[in-house]
Amino acid sequence: MQRSRWTTLLFVGPAVLWLAVFFGAPVVATLWVSLTDEQGVDEDSKFIGLANYTRLLKDPYFIDTFWVMLKILFIGGAAVFAISFLFMTILREMRFKRFARAVMFAPYIVIPVALAILWGVLLNPQTGLLNSFLDLVGAGALKRVWLGPDWIFTSVVIGLIWLSTGFYTTLLCAGVDRIPAHYYEAAELEGASRWHQFVRVTIPMTWDVIGTAAVLWVIGAINTFGFIFAFSGAGATPDKRTWTPAIYLYLETFDPLNGSLSYGYGCAIAVMLMLLVAVSVALIRRAFRREAVQF
Amino acid sequence: MSAIELRDVVKTYPDGTSAVTGIDLTVPDGSFTVLVGPSGCGKSTLLRMVAGLEEITGGEVRIGDTPVNKTAAADRNLAMVFQNYALYPHMTVADNIAFGMRARKVPKPEREKRTREAAEILGLTPFLDRRPANLSGGQRQRVAMGRAIVRSPEAFLMDEPLSNLDAKLRVQMRAEISLIQRRTGTTTLYVTHDQTEAMTMGDQVVVMSKGRIRQVGSPTSLYDAPADLFVASFIGAPPMNLVRAELVRDGDALAVALGGSRLTVTPEVLARHPDLPSYAGREVVVGIRPEHLQDEEFAGPGREGDLLRAEVRLREDLGREVSLLVNPVPGSSSWSRLVLDDSATVEDDPTGAAATLTATVHQRTRLRDGDVASLRVSLPELHFFDPSTSLAISGSTPGSVPGAATHGAEASSPDSTTPQPA
Amino acid sequence: MRALTALTKETEASVSTTQLEKPVDAVRGPAREGPRSRARRSVTDVAFFAGRLFVWVWVVGTLILGLWLVVASFKDEATVFTSPWSVPTSPRVQSYVDAVQLFNLTDAFLNTVFVVSVSTMLVVAVSAPCAYALARWKFRGSGTLTFVLAAAVGVPVQVLFVPIYLAYSKIGMINSLWGVILIYVGMNIPFTTFLLVSFFRSLPGELEEAAAMDGSKTLRTFFTVMLPLARPGLSTAAIITAIGLWNEFLIALTFLGDDKKYTLTIGLLNLYGNMRYNTNWTALFAGVVISLLPLLVLYAWLSNKIIEGLTLGSGK
């Protein structure tokens, strides 16, 4: 159908303009700033090439945050996906399925700070609900200093699992619900066991959804910020054992407690994060690539 | 209201596949022209090009006297009825009908008056405040019609408007659409794959296949004088029997040798197919419509050389008539049937039923499965085709350019046209 | 993982044999017959029971945590942690008064409502036409634009905020709610456009053709036919955007340092931080309740739509 060029521009223009100014330009600028020693708004900066990046690779703090991120990504991810698959299969044939799903999903839409406060209240060693509950049921021996150095990271990861699982369970459930029942009926008639149905019907037919879920988890895990920032810092600088690259980046660039603000260095971290996301997403997409199944 | 003219219209998609080629067609002012053909023959594409929904790759489309190739659909002042009606689901019936007038800035009182009138004609008055979702299929179809007639457009374009209805409703709506068209006298271009619809509704029928026009004419002329094997097998239900047969010399007359029987080529036949003698001694394709094979017992007096002996394989009682599937009598020579395949090509039947002909005979026939039947052939109604060109063997019918057939052309029978050179 | 999937298998098998009264065992083969199969069945029953128990512990635990917080917000500071499981006989609303007064939660609430509603409206208003164009038209650059949008969905906010911060500092836009709104809109355009593209694609194309035949031009068709039809998609997109922004943390923390400009997330974070100097836990809990209430009401009302939008939307 005929349409003037102006019409197209009218429809697409505002979004493109907005993206150019508040998305495209900042990304390019971040790339540039990461190559400078930008210290602050009023400071002069000069081009220092890849110095920020070489410093990054030798920075023990950054390397620590990188490990934290990897642990969240893989250990947390394994737990989230294992539990989500379990929940998906159990929810499918459970009563009050919608209610259970709605409750599980709820943390995903709640302010991360509020979740962090809740989680903190639960785990506070002196006044926390968990320890008081353990006392109540006579299992005082299991009490731990959950927010202390030994346990803080575990507590964070379990918290992340708690607030993420509902989302991924729902995502997988949505994928399974789209599979027409007759595939299962046919499999049943052919004598396939439930295990075979899971492997031969459920997994292949939700393959795309699983791939999407994996992509989302990776993006989320690499950028983990709000929950940890609020939880392990209780409103102040978070515990170093739980710093993720995103938190480190924020502290390097904006934390008033930190003496020297280094925008250039922060931007280098941001670029690393972006590259990491891009590479991981590309890898996952490749791993999950196959011909689309129509059903 | 205006005539629609298509001159050498071509549609080629960017990937190089061509949808239609070399279309020349006149839809006379006020006519009901039906484009019919199997799916993929390009009929919908042609309609959409007239509508302005599809770009025209080559040639010219004129509405009235104005070329509209570069005119946007919205400015062509045509009305279209879509296969699935395309009613606006969020609007009431009244708003659906009035939408086009609103877009063309017809003043409100006028809009309301015309909406009411259209609703009246279509029996939609009680439903004006309903949404399409709360209407039956037939009612939706009427709303779609209402949307078309309310604007008094240059022409109605209809793209398989009945194919979503059940069989009974389809017959009813078929009549309603015809009546509305006669009442308004609006030029109508109607697309269908259903040859019954084409025959019953159109005063001009355009048979298409593989992106080309095969024949243009009145329903009767197409039925009585199909221009080629495709039209012969496509028009008519059950389809015409097409068999390979040898044209033999029988004394000083000609005869068709068919499964041990000999059908005489009478002077009457020769008069209709004057080119026939030049095929003597060669193989031709003979076309016999099922109703032209009658049980001898009920067929009335015949003449010599009009009997076909065949074995009844299956008898199907249809109530008003009986359909017989017949094979050559065992021991006699067989015959070879041609059928229309999915790609709109007429070719030798690849299935085992290659020798089966269909005869539609009198309801009281006593023929049963296994009987050897004597079937009387209406010799003047035989059709002959050249197997190498698949064109009708004629010579008597004046060749006419497709599109030249005019409105109400039934009178001058038979006005078949020769197909486009491939 | 292997143990887990094995568990899944057993539990599912037990459901079909015990609940569905179908002669499934017959087709399952001899492994399931005789006394052994009975023993196995009871094992699978136990496994399935354990699985369901896990689900319920999770669900009930989450609920208790939330309810505890609500109850605690009505208790007094003295008993909230000393007898954490008690229920107050007379609910105390002082914590709410404290929360509102001491921590300036009214401003934070109003700021959040303002920022979230304006940003959401702008995001949808800007994304919808763009999504429609991408879904329906082929124009120069449409492929590139689609690719750029897809890539932008995965770009972390961290990559954007340093240069914007530097630029805002220069032109005095720090601590400006409008400044944050501009960023929020930019951040959300890619995902919202993506969501709406797939939504517009799902609408029947004949409607536009019908409108064109009716004499309607592109703009009229968009506003009177396509937009009304896309309403479910638009509201899903709006809800998802609003939830995301209501919870947004990093940008607000970076750009809104003035406590008059706090949003709820930042207000809460500060409340939380203050606990180390001036403990008023019940007020903190009251603050959490206040900040969650609108979302939870929305969620209770539209949970299915929200869940669907968030999961299917991200699943494209």
Kindly list the domain boundaries of chain B, sorted by start residue.
4-230, 233-385
Q: Collect all residues of chain A within an 8 Å Cβ-Cβ radius of residue C95.
A: none
The architecture of the domain spanning B4-230 is 3-Layer(aba) Sandwich (3.40)
pLDDT in tens, B185-228: 889 999 999 989 999 999 999 999 888 899 999 999 999 889 88
Average the pLDDT over B13-28 and give the result: 88
Cβ separation C209–B72 shorter than 8 A: no
Q: What is the DSSP letter of B194?
A: -
pLDDT at C7 over 70: no
High-pLDDT (> 70) share of chain C, %: 83
Q: Give the per-residue pLDDT at B218.
A: 92
CB of B77 less than 8 A from some CB of C: yes
Q: HSE (CB half, 13 Å, CA atoms) of C102?
A: 21
Average the pLDDT over A174-179 and give the result: 81
Please report, for the domain that includes residue A88, its CATH number: 1.10.3720.10
Of B244, B194, B181, which Cα lies nearest the Cα of B407? Answer: B181
Cβ separation A109–C306 shorter than 8 A: yes
Q: Give the per-residue pLDDT at C249.
A: 82
pLDDT in tens, C149-165: 888 888 888 888 888 88
- Residue A22 maps to a domain: no
pLDDT at A91 over 90: no
pLDDT at B87 over 80: yes
- Residue A47 maps to a domain: no
Mean residue pLDDT across chain C: 78
**In the 3-class helix/strand/coil scheme, how is chain C assigned residue by residue?**
CHHHHHHHHHHHHHHHHHCCCCCHHHHHCHHHCHHHHHHHHHHHHHHHHHHHHHHHHHHHHHHHHHHHHHHHCCCCCCHHHHCCCCCCCCCCCHHHHHHHHHCCHHHHHHHHHHHHHHHHHHHHHHHHHHHHHHHHCCCCCHHHHHHHHHHHHCCCCHHHHHHHHHHHHHHCCCCCHHHHHHHHHHHHHHHHHHHHHHHHHCCCCHHHHHHHHCCCCHHHHHHHHHHHHCHHHHHHHHHHHHHHHHCCCHHHHHHCCCCCCCCHHHHHHHHHHHCCCCCCHHHHHHHHHHHHHHHHHHHHHHHHHHHHHHHHHHHC
Give partners of B (≥3 CB pairs < 8 A).
A, C
pLDDT in tens, B118-129: 888 888 888 888
pLDDT at C307 over 90: no
- Residue C167 maps to a domain: yes
User: Tokens 């009427």, residue?
Assistant: B142
pLDDT at C230 over 90: no
Token pair for A72: 């969240």
Q: Give the per-residue pLDDT at C244.
A: 85
Token pair for B377: 């052939």
Cβ separation B74–C210 shorter than 8 A: no
- Residue C231 sits in which domain range? 95-315
Least confident of A97-106, A249-258, C259-268: A249-258
Highest mean pLDDT among A66-70, C23-27, C112-116, C297-301: C112-116
CA B364, B367, B369, B375 dihedral sign is negative
Q: Collect all residues of chain B within an 8 Å Cβ-Cβ radius of residue C209.
A: 51, 53, 73, 80, 82, 86
Which residue is closest to C227 within chain B, CA to CA? B90
Cβ separation B86–C209 shorter than 8 A: yes
Q: Give the per-residue pLDDT at A15.
A: 92
Residue B303: other Cβ atoms inside 10 A: 10
Say if residue C61 is in the same domain as residue C99: no
User: Tokens 């394709």, residue?
Assistant: B285
Picking from C72, C105, C122, the residue at the C-terminal end of a domain is C72
Contact B123, B135 (CB under 8 A): no
CA distances from C62 to A39, A142, B200 (A): 44, 21, 69
Count of all residues that appear for chain C in the document? 316
Mean residue pLDDT across chain B: 84
Least confident of A194-208, B190-204, B362-376: A194-208
Q: Give the per-residue pLDDT at C107.
A: 84
CB of A135 less than 8 A from some CB of C: no
Average the pLDDT over C303-313 and give the result: 70
Q: Give the per-residue pLDDT at A90.
A: 83
Q: Give the per-residue pLDDT at C122.
A: 95
High-pLDDT (> 90) share of chain A, %: 6
pLDDT at C87 over 50: yes
Q: What is the DSSP letter of A260?
A: S
Name the residue with higher pLDDT: A46 or C229: C229
List CB contacts of B211: < 8 A, sequence separation 6 or more.
B11, B18, B19, B20, B21, B41, B42
Token pair for C44: 């699978």
- Residue A160 maps to a domain: yes
Distance from CA of C208 to the nearest CA of B (A): 9
Name the residue with higher pLDDT: B367 or B260: B367
Average the pLDDT over A32-51 and give the result: 77
Confidence of residue C28 (pLDDT cuts 50, 70, 90): very low
Confidence of residue A124 (pLDDT cuts 50, 70, 90): confident
CB of B329 less than 8 A from some CB of C: no
Confidence of residue B404 (pLDDT cuts 50, 70, 90): very low
Cβ separation C215–B104 shorter than 8 A: yes
Say if residue C63 is in the same domain as residue C138: no
pLDDT at B411 over 60: no
Average the pLDDT over A187-203 and give the result: 78
- Residue A30 maps to a domain: no
Cβ separation A270–C162 shorter than 8 A: yes
For residue A176, how far is the Cα from the chain centroid? Answer: 23
Distance CA(C284)–CA(C288), nearest Å, equals: 6
Cβ separation C215–B75 shorter than 8 A: yes
Say if residue C149 is in the same domain as residue C113: yes
Distance CA(B395)–CA(A263), nearest Å, equals: 92
Give partners of A (≥3 CB pairs < 8 A).
B, C
Distance CA(A76)–CA(A153), nearest Å, equals: 11
pLDDT at B413 over 50: no
CB of C204 less than 8 A from some CB of B: yes
Confidence of residue C44 (pLDDT cuts 50, 70, 90): low
Of B27, B40, B79, B419, which Cα lies nearest the Cα of B205? Answer: B27
Q: Give the per-residue pLDDT at B337.
A: 83
Q: Give the per-residue pLDDT at C29.
A: 40
Of the candidates A127, A234, A267, the beta carbon closest to that of C162 is on A267
Q: What is the pTM of this model?
A: 0.80
What are the two backbone dihedrals, phi and then psi, of residue B157, each rounded to the nearest 5 degrees?
Answer: -115, 130
Element (H, E) at B358: strand B357-362
Of the candidates A22, A99, A223, the beta carbon closest to that of C156 is on A223
Of the candidates C204, C213, C229, the beta carbon closest to that of B51 is on C213
Confidence of residue A259 (pLDDT cuts 50, 70, 90): low
How many pairs of residues across A and B have Cβ atoms under 8 Å apart?
A: 6
> Between residues 83 and 122 of chain C, which touch chain A (CB distance below 8 Å)?
84-85
- Residue C80 maps to a domain: no
Which residue is closest to A3 within chain B, CA to CA? B72
Cβ separation B103–C228 shorter than 8 A: no
Confidence of residue A14 (pLDDT cuts 50, 70, 90): very high
Distance from CA of C260 to the nearest CA of A (A): 18
pLDDT in tens, A131-162: 777 777 777 776 777 776 777 788 888 888 98
Which residue is closest to C206 within chain B, CA to CA? B86
Confidence of residue B327 (pLDDT cuts 50, 70, 90): confident
Least confident of B270-284, C123-137, C175-189: B270-284
Confidence of residue A294 (pLDDT cuts 50, 70, 90): low
Average the pLDDT over B318-345 and give the result: 83
pLDDT in tens, B122-153: 888 888 888 988 888 888 888 998 888 888 88
Least confident of A188-192, B138-142, B297-301: A188-192
pLDDT at A260 over 80: no
Q: Give the per-residue pLDDT at B220.
A: 92
Least confident of A167-171, C165-169, C240-244, C303-307: C303-307
Which residue is closest to B101 within chain C, CA to CA? C214
Number of domains in chain A: 1
Confidence of residue C312 (pLDDT cuts 50, 70, 90): low
User: Tokens 């941001």, residue?
Assistant: A270
For residue B302, how far is the Cα from the chain centroid? Answer: 32
- Residue A193 sits in which domain range? 54-288
Peptide bond into B414 cis (omega under 30): yes
* Span between the terminal Cα atoms of chain C, in Å: 27
Q: Give the per-residue pLDDT at B190.
A: 93
Say if residue C57 is in the same domain as residue C111: no
Picking from C18, C37, C72, the residue at the C-terminal end of a domain is C72
Cβ separation A235–C56 shorter than 8 A: no
Q: Which residues pair with B212 in a beta bridge?
A: B209
Concatenate the DSSP letters of all residues of B299-348 into one string: S----TT-EEEEEEEEEEE-SSEEEEEEEEPTTS---EEEEE-TTS-EEE
Which ipTM score applies to this complex? 0.84
Confidence of residue B352 (pLDDT cuts 50, 70, 90): low
User: Tokens 């939830």, residue?
Assistant: C243
List CB contacts of C39: < 8 A, sequence separation 6 or more.
none
Distance CA(B379)–CA(B305), nearest Å, equals: 9
